[in-house]
Amino acid sequence: MRARVFVTLKPSVFDPQGTTVAEALHTLGYAAVKDVRQGKYFELEIDARTPEDARRLASEAADKLLANPVIESYRIEVDSGAAETVR
């Protein structure tokens, strides 16, 4: 089963990389791009019986390692089409 984990900086945290990318886009003429936030995306292939099990494991992995709760939050999608986990 495949879980997708999206890690992003919390809204309150300044994102120097995202700001730089936004400035580059403005230089290219994309004035319509108001803001860019850069994050990380993980695909986890998980040996699990149910989507719920896969989601639980992915969430544990995100809590322990993939995201730093001081500055980041994450969102999980599991391929079965079940609802998202957002934390």
Residues at the interface with other proteins (CB under 8 A)? 9, 12-17, 20, 65-66, 68, 70-71
In sequence order, what are the beta bridge partners of 6? 41, 75
Cβ atoms of 6 and 41 within 8 Å: the answer is yes
Question: Minimum distance from CB of 29 to other proteins (Å)?
Answer: 21
Closest CB to other proteins among residues 9, 76: 9
> What is the Cα–Cα distance from 1 to 43, expressed in whole angstroms?
10
Question: Minimum distance from CB of 19 to other proteins (Å)?
Answer: 8
Tell me the residue type at 51: P
Closest CB to other proteins among residues 13, 86: 13
